[in-house]
Structures are given as C-alpha cells and as structure tokens.
C-alpha cells in the first residue's frame, strides 16, 4: 500500500522481474528456451489437449466462477491507482504496533516490507532486493545457485535494479488504491495512502491520468481519506452495508498490489469486529478476510458476491511483509460516515464522553469485576477529565456501560463509534452496571477537540524502604493501609486505599504488572480503604467464580495515574 512501493519506478522495476514468478512457485516457464548441460538449445513441448470435464459439479463451479467475472467487470472500471510523491523525510514513518500494540499488523505505506516497519519500501536498494525475492518466491540460496532458475532470477534482478537506480532512490513516494464512489470525481481511499503527499496522481482504469488530484481531507482516527479529481460521468462503485456482512460470506479484494493494477483476489470474511491498534485511536472494528491483500491494495474495495463495497482494504498481519492470509478492511459504514463529513466540513467533528474505556467481552474479565453472569459491555477504566461529559453525568471508574441510547454495546470501538457519531450537544442515555445493579445516567455530549500533546507523566516516587505489609488474598502480594505519611512519600494525593509493600517475582501479581508502591483504590467495582475491606472484597469476587482459575480486578493508582489490572488467581 501507499509506501510499500516507492512510486511507478518501483512498480516498473518489479514488473521487469515478473517473469520469474512461476519459477518461485515451482512451475515451468512457458516459451523459454533452455540451454542443456551439453550446450544444446531445447524448447519445451507444447501442452497436450485434454478432454473437457463436464459434470453437474463442474457446471455449478463454472456458475460461481461467472459470478466473480461479473463482479470484476462491474467494479474494476471504478478502481483507481493512486501515486504520491513527497520529500523522503516527510513520507517515512514508523508503523503502529511494537510493544503494547498488535505485532506485525501494519497499514501498508507505514514501512511495510522493511524489517520492523523501519523504512518505506523503495527508499533503499537492499530492501528493494529483499522485497523482490519475497514477491517471486526465491530464497537467497536459489538466487545465487548455478541453476537456470538462478540465472534467470539474477538477469531479471539486474534489469529491475537498473530501472530502480536510474529513476532515483528515495523521494518518499508511495502507491496505493482507491475507488470512485461519486461520478463527479470523489474517490475513497486510506489516509495513510496520501499522508504527507506533495502531489497526488490518480490513474483511471482506462489509462487517463489526473496529476492535480486534491485531498479533500483525511481522518487519522479511522485511516480514511477523500480525494477529488476534475472529471464527470465517471464509473462508480456501489457502497453496501457492512452490518449485513457475515463470517463465511464471500470477500473479493480489488486493487494494485505491487503496482499490478486491477488485481482481483477472492476469499471469505474470516471474522468481524477485530480490534487492532492501527489508527490514531481505536475507533474501528475491522473486518478480517483471507482474500489476498498485499502492498498497494490499501484504499481499494473489499466486495461482497454482489459487487457491493463492504470494506476499504487497510492492513495485513504478516511476518514477511507479504500476504499470509490475514487481511483487514475498514467497514464501509465507517468509511461512508467519515467521507460524508469530510466532503461537508473538510474534517470529522465528533462527540465525546471523556473517559478511558476497555472492552468486557469475555466471562473471565466480567468475573474479575464481580459482574452479574452474562454481563458484557465497556468498562470505564479511568475518568480522564473531571469536567468532561462522562464525569458530569456521574460515571465512575469500574462502571460497565452496557447500552448507549438503548443500543447494546460490547466493545470499546463500538461505543466510541456510537458516541462520536451522535450529534454534538445531544443528550445520551447511558445504561451501566455498578455494584451489581443496573442504573441509567444521562450525559450531554460535547465536541471532541484536538488534544494538546500530553505532558510526560511524572515518574512515581519510590516506596519508602521501611514499608512493611501483611499477606493478602492475592498470591504474591503484600499490602498495608495507606497513611498520609506514606501517601506524601509516594507523591500521591489520595489517602484512601492500600499500598503494595511487596510483589513476589513470578507471582500472578507480578505477571499482572503490579509494583511496590502501587496504591489499590478499588477491588472490582468496590472502593476499599483498609486491609479488612480489601480481603473481604477479594474473597467476594472469587467466591462468585467456579473452576480452578479465577480473576480479580484491582484499580491501581501509580504516581497519580489510575487504571485496572486483572490478576489470575489459581
């Protein structure tokens, strides 16, 4: 996708080597004269004609095949190639992920193809060589071998390298896909495809080029952008409804992987509502598909069997930089909403609650919070701003939001989407579970402003050396009541709770990340102020659970920053 191929020079260079793709797949090349060891030139014999198999099963398969052909014919005219150029320093960017993120899940154009997302593909000849080998299935040993396959590979590499070096290294350009969704020249794509671009070139399926395409707006929160070209009466895609998509439905991806324009691949919807750390914040539940998605597919459509757009291709999970059967697309309902706001206002205005949240999707998490059986929703992990709409509505840490305006919510992105898409200034009804009981709160939503860069959190003070504690019901954890003196030594304002005096290495508390000097303010949803209340609350949460492995949620204050930690108790 956008930076995986460094503009048309890389595409042409890769195409120069495309002839060896069949070699890497283990098939013979057609129409290639081969010199035998004795020096005699031979030609592969022509393929023999075989009888055609015609059975009810093959006729059914042919009918299905015809459906894919029909989809391709209908949609491909509306799929475009987007090529960008920018100064190298403006285009380079590290991939999201790394520690704490989703490993090796990256939007193309964010360093995909280079180790650890270090550099956009195309900016370095060595990385170009690695990608060249991966694309065509040849390893280092095969490339350097004295076989005819190795000789062909080296010949094609020299051609590709010459094009690469003659057309200039670096430049920070990128290549991606897009889809025309309005006949007056509006194109839907990924924000990262056009991020940092000085110029945007759009190439249509009929070969027409528009080198003055305008980026109407980008939304980094969802990785959606809208591009405008000066044209009318253009072919368009039909936007579908991603909520109707089912796991197991056909999924058809169209785009320009590695610059090979209008490539169609077929798979199924493997999963829905995948939560990934790809965008600026997590506002999207992704569709997962095994339809082959590769660098250059970013911004292209993911279609259903009727040719309707159900997603915008965005990223893959990959150990190698190429497709491994796990691709992700932004649901079209999200993309449509964002695109409409960009066209209308030039940006996306969103409502917000002002609380930090996390999903409660499984029984273990719900049990650790002491919730009634079957409860699912979104945990309020922290009140970010005491003057924000959520705090003024009465939300507290530990509350679990189960409905927003009477609509059930089960994941953080789902709640964020409902809140963000609600009218600014509107009243929102929040159904919550607190202390095992259902309550309804009302919040007046406000506009989410661009946040100022956050100041680094102060490092927590070290716990006093003479801090002694007592054994707790949580294995490997010792605690003591928090006194004003200890609170001052720890640099925290609260004097309610218990201070952690010891964490045994390798214990469940250690594995959950607890540290000496942490202050425990709540067990599940219940505030605790002394060791007796702490022990009672922990026992209460654990007794509600069956089995040998149980969880308990502790609300921890560390240096003034609070959040929940979930500890497994065997």
pLDDT in tens, 102-134: 233 444 433 333 333 322 233 345 555 665 555
One domain for residues 421 and 497: no
DSSP label at residue 552? E
One domain for residues 477 and 557: yes
Last residue within a domain, chosen from 413, 447, 481: 447
Residue tagged active-site, from 8, 177, 221, 223: 223
DSSP 372-418: PTT--EEEEEEES-TTSHHHHHT--TT-EEEEETTEE--SHHHHHHH
One domain for residues 486 and 554: yes
Ranges of residues in the chain whose predicted pLDDT is under 70? 1-50, 86-143, 148-150, 152-153, 156-173, 277-283, 318-324, 450-470, 495
One domain for residues 484 and 544: yes
pLDDT at 548: 75
Last residue within a domain, chosen from 432, 447, 462: 447
pLDDT at 416: 87
pLDDT at 23: 29
Whether 483 is catalytic: no
One domain for residues 479 and 442: no
How many helices (H) does the chain have, and how many strands (E)?
15, 32
One domain for residues 418 and 501: no
* Residue 455, in any domain of the structure: no
pLDDT at 13: 45
One domain for residues 479 and 563: yes
Calpha distance 400→391 (Å, rounded): 14
As a whole number of angstroms, the longest Cα–Cα distance in the chain is 93
CATH number of the domain where residue 564 is located: 2.30.42.10
pLDDT at 467: 56
* Residue 310, in any domain of the structure: no
Beta-carbon neighbour count of residue 192 at 10 Å? 30
* Residue 316, in any domain of the structure: no
Whether 298 is catalytic: yes
pLDDT at 167: 38
* Residue 83, in any domain of the structure: no
* Residue 529, in any domain of the structure: yes
pLDDT at 343: 95
pLDDT at 516: 86
* Residue 517, in any domain of the structure: yes
Residue tagged active-site, from 4, 177, 192, 359: 192
- Domain carrying residue 478: 470-569
One domain for residues 426 and 517: no
* Residue 397, in any domain of the structure: yes
Last residue within a domain, chosen from 394, 414, 447: 447
One domain for residues 365 and 405: yes
pLDDT at 45: 64
* Residue 545, in any domain of the structure: yes
3-state DSSP assignment of residue 431: strand
Domains in the chain, number? 2
Residue tagged active-site, from 298, 351, 359, 562: 298
């Amino acid at each position: 996708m956008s930076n995986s191929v460094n503009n048309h020079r890389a595409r042409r260079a890769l195409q120069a080597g495309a002839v060896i793709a069949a070699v890497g797949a283990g098939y013979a090349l057609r129409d290639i004269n081969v010199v035998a060891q004795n020096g005699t030139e031979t030609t592969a014999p022509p393929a023999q004609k075989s009888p055609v198999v015609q059975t009810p099963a093959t006729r059914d398969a042919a009918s299905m095949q015809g459906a894919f052909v029909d989809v391709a014919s209908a949609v491909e005219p509306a799929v475009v190639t987007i090529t960008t150029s920018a100064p190298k320093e403006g285009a380079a960017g590290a991939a999201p992920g790394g520690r704490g993120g989703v490993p090796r899940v990256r939007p193309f154009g964010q360093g995909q193809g280079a180790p650890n997302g270090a550099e956009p593909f195309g900016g370095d000849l060595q990385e170009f060589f690695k990608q060249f080998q991966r694309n065509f299935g040849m390893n280092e040993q095969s490339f350097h071998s004295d076989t005819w396959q190795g000789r062909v590979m080296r010949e094609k590499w020299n051609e590709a390298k010459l094009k690469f070096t003659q057309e200039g290294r670096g430049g920070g350009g990128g290549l991606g896909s897009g889809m025309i969704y309005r006949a007056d020249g509006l194109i839907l794509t990924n924000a990262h495809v056009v991020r940092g671009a000085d110029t945007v070139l759009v190439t249509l399926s009929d070969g027409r080029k528009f080198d003055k395409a305008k980026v109407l707006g980008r939304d980094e929160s969802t990785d959606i952008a809208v591009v405008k070209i000066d044209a009318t009466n253009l072919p368009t895609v039909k936007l579908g409804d991603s909520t109707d998509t089912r796991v197991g439905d056909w999924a058809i991806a169209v785009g320009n992987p590695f610059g090979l324009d209008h490539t169609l691949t077929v798979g199924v919807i493997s999963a829905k509502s995948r939560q990934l750390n790809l965008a600026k914040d997590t506002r999207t539940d992704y569709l997962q598909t095994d339809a082959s998605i590769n660098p250059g597919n970013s911004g292209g459509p993911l279609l259903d069997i009727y040719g309707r757009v159900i997603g915008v291709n965005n990223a893959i999970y990959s150990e190698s930089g190429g497709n491994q059967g796990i691709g992700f697309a932004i649901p079209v309902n999200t993309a449509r909403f964002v695109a409409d706001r960009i066209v209308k206002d030039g940006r996306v205005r969103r409502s917000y609650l002002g609380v930090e949240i996390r999903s409660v999707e499984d029984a273990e998490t719900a049990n650790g919070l002491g919730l009634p059986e079957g409860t699912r929703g979104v945990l309020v992990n922290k009140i970010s701003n005491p003057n924000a709409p959520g705090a003024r509505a009465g939300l507290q840490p530990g509350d679990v939001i189960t409905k927003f305006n009477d609509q059930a919510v089960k994941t953080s992105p789902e709640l964020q989407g409902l809140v963000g898409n609600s009218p600014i200034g509107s009243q929102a009804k929040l159904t919550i579970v607190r202390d095992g009981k259902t309550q309804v709160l009302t919040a007046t939503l406000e506009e989410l402003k661009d946040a100022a860069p956050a100041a680094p959190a102060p490092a927590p003070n070290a716990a006093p050396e003479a801090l002694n504690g007592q054994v707790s019901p949580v294995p490997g954890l010792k605690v003591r009541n928090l006194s004003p003196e200890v609170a001052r030594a720890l640099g925290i304002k609260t004097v309610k709770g218990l201070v952690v005096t010891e964490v045994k290495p390798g214990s469940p508390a250690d594995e959950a990340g607890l540290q000496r000097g942490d202050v425990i303010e709540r067990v599940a949803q219940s505030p605790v102020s002394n060791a007796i209340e702490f022990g009672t609350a922990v026992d209460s949460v654990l007794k509600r659970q069956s089995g040998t492995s149980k969880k308990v949620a502790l609300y921890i204050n560390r240096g003034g920053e609070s959040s929940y930690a979930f500890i497994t108790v065997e």
